[in-house]
């Protein structure tokens, strides 16, 4: 929560933070980067791993000091002898510095955002085995897993991965991408919970870029967070990568007190057309099955005896509705007395099942969806009060665009 922007106290706080604290922190950050550049240059000249590690520890500690971080660690952080990887929920680029400042630093996997972020990545992380990739480049994404395996096999700095793949507001956890859970190595879950007393640490890339976010953090009084280190866990013999990802996400959600959501975080920005189409197929399947949603399957009967997971169509385990808090802010009923939360949860479960299917089966379902979409009778659509008519025709012509109007599901054909 930000402080109230009215009153004398806020005025003096604004003056101090923006005209005194910010210049001092900016100067200190510049000096820290210069010292780090000197240290890393010496490490490269003498080809010394110890000097390199010292340089990383220095810049990480310096950034945490400059930003005024107050971190409370719970549990024990271990560097295992076996091949392992650390995973965590993701709120801001600050997550990396918080986790790397305790005991030993990490290498990480990050999307290449360009600009000032790319400059810092190249200066600080490019030499420690960290991996930068462009999500829009299919070749880059295919190389990430092989480079991660190579890094882990050499037993360099422990790899830190944020499976959500995007920054989340530290109130929810969204779908974990399954790539890292296919490596058949030990996974060390870490949960981060920020205390929102004087700031909001969430980096909303749709609203502002890295430079503005860094400026925002430099003008806060301090940053307070709790970090929970959990024992390593391994994929069970009868467990799929998706089931393993969901189990790890549940551990992090419960430890940090976050709402466990099935939503795919990639869908908030510019998702691939295939992901959009899979979500449409999931919506159609859930809509056509809406009568069964009133039964007992979503009231807990699908939960296992321990109440943690339920099996669905043999494709994987998904957590029961009482452990999913996808849309708690919307307490309404739709489609004949079906709770909105229940419908959205079931749609996301179907989406997860589709993501588990082989590509050729996904392709068949998407083609079936497109064929049925082209058979919709658009004459039933109202001429006024509905803006999806044009979008629907644009999609059929260019196979692009996400329709969200209620008229897209006429007679259950979508």
Same domain, 149 and 248: yes
Same domain, 297 and 407: no
- The span from the first CA to the last CA of the chain, in angstroms, equals 41
Same domain, 327 and 211: no
Same domain, 254 and 295: no
Same domain, 344 and 385: no
Give the position of tokens 């790319």.
Answer: 118
Instruction: Give 312-338 pLDDT, tens digit per residue.
Output: 333 334 444 455 554 444 566 776 677
Contacts 24+ apart (CB under 8 A), 77-80: 77/102, 77/103, 77/104, 77/229, 78/188, 78/229, 78/232, 79/103, 79/104, 79/158, 80/186, 80/188, 80/232
* 8 A C-beta contact, residue 48 and residue 201: no
Same domain, 99 and 217: yes
Q: Could you give phi then psi for residue 186, rounded to 5 degrees?
A: -70, 140
- Of the candidates 82, 129, 78, the residue with the CA atom closest to the CA atom of residue 107: 129
Low-confidence ranges of the chain (pLDDT < 70): 1-6, 135-141, 269-272, 291-332, 335-336, 372-414
Strands 316-318 and 310-312: antiparallel
Residues in the chain: 414
> What pLDDT score was predicted for residue 291?
67
Query: Does residue 30 belong to any structural domain of this protein?
Result: no
> What pLDDT score was predicted for residue 68?
94
Query: Does residue 290 belong to any structural domain of this protein?
Result: yes
DSSP H or E segment with residue 360: helix 359-373
Query: Does residue 18 belong to any structural domain of this protein?
Result: no
Q: Which two tokens stand for residue 349?
A: 């479960």
Same domain, 173 and 199: yes
Question: Measured between alpha carbons, how far is 261 from 89 in angstroms, rounded to an integer?
Answer: 12
> What pLDDT score was predicted for residue 390?
44
Encode burial over 267-290: b for 16+ CB neighbours within 10 A, e otherwise.
beeebeeebbbbbbbbbbbbbeee
* 8 A C-beta contact, residue 277 and residue 367: no
Q: Which residues span the domain enclosing 389?
A: 374-414
Task: State the maximum Cα–Cα separation within the chain, in Å, rounded to a whole number.
Answer: 75
* 8 A C-beta contact, residue 161 and residue 108: yes
Query: Does residue 53 belong to any structural domain of this protein?
Result: no
End position of a domain, from candidates 260, 290, 309: 260
* 8 A C-beta contact, residue 315 and residue 356: yes
Same domain, 298 and 224: no
Strands 84-88 and 223-229: unpaired
End position of a domain, from candidates 260, 283, 303: 260
> What pLDDT score was predicted for residue 276?
81
Strands 159-161 and 84-88: parallel
Same domain, 222 and 99: yes
Q: Domain tally for the chain?
A: 3
End position of a domain, from candidates 226, 260, 294: 260
Query: Does residue 124 belong to any structural domain of this protein?
Result: yes
> What pLDDT score was predicted for residue 394?
46
Q: Which residues neighbour 360 within 8 Å (Cβ) at sequence distance 6 or greater?
A: none
What is the Rg, in whole angstroms, of the alpha carbon atoms belonging to the chain? 24
Question: Measured between alpha carbons, how far is 236 from 227 in angstroms, rounded to an integer?
Answer: 26
> What pLDDT score was predicted for residue 331?
64
* 8 A C-beta contact, residue 80 and residue 232: yes
Q: Which residues neighbour 218 within 8 Å (Cβ) at sequence distance 6 or greater?
A: 21, 22, 25, 26, 29, 66, 67
Query: Does residue 346 belong to any structural domain of this protein?
Result: yes
CB count within 10 Å of CB 411 equals 8
Q: Could you give phi then psi for residue 178, rounded to 5 degrees?
A: -85, -10
Same domain, 340 and 320: yes
Same domain, 351 and 239: no
> What pLDDT score was predicted for residue 412?
38
Same domain, 192 and 87: yes
């Amino acid at each position: 929560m930000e402080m109230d922007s009215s009153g004398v106290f806020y005025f003096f706080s604004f003056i101090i933070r923006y005209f005194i604290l910010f210049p001092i922190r900016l100067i200190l950050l510049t000096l820290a980067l210069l010292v780090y550049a000197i240290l890393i240059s010496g490490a490269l000249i003498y080809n010394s791993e110890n000097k390199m590690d010292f340089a990383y520890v220095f810049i990480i500690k310096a950034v945490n000091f400059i930003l005024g971080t107050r971190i409370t660690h719970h549990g024990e952080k271990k560097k295992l002898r076996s091949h392992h990887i650390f995973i965590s929920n993701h709120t801001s680029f600050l997550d990396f510095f918080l986790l790397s400042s305790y005991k030993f630093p990490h290498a990480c996997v990050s999307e290449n955002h360009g600009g000032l972020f790319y400059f810092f990545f190249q200066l600080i992380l490019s030499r420690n085995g960290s991996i930068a990739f462009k999500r829009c480049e299919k070749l880059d994404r295919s190389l990430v897993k092989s480079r991660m395996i190579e890094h882990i096999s050499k037993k360099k700095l422990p790899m830190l991965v944020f499976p959500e793949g995007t920054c989340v507001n530290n109130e929810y956890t969204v779908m974990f991408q399954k790539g890292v859970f296919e490596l058949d190595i030990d996974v060390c879950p870490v949960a981060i919970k920020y205390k929102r007393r004087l700031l909001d640490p969430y980096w909303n890339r749709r609203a502002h870029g890295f430079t503005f976010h860094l400026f925002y953090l430099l003008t806060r009084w301090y940053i307070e967070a709790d970090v929970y280190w959990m024992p390593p866990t391994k994929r069970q013999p009868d467990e799929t990568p998706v089931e393993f990802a969901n189990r790890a996400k549940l551990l992090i959600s419960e430890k940090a007190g976050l709402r466990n959501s099935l939503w795919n975080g990639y869908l908030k920005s510019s998702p691939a057309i295939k992901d959009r189409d899979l979500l449409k197929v999931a919506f159609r399947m859930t809509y056509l099955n809406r009568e069964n949603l009133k039964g007992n399957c979503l009231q807990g009967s699908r939960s296992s005896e321990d109440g943690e997971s339920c099996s669905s169509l043999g494709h994987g385990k998904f957590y029961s509705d009482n452990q999913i808090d996808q849309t708690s802010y919307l307490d309404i009923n739709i489609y004949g007395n079906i709770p909105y939360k229940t419908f959205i949860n079931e749609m996301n479960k179907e989406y997860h099942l589709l993501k588990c299917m082989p590509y050729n089966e996904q392709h068949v379902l998407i083609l079936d969806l497109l064929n049925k979409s082209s058979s919709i009778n658009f004459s039933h659509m109202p001429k006024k009060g509905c803006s999806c008519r044009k979008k629907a025709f644009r999609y059929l012509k260019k196979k692009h665009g996400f329709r969200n109007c209620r008229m897209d599901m006429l007679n259950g054909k979508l």
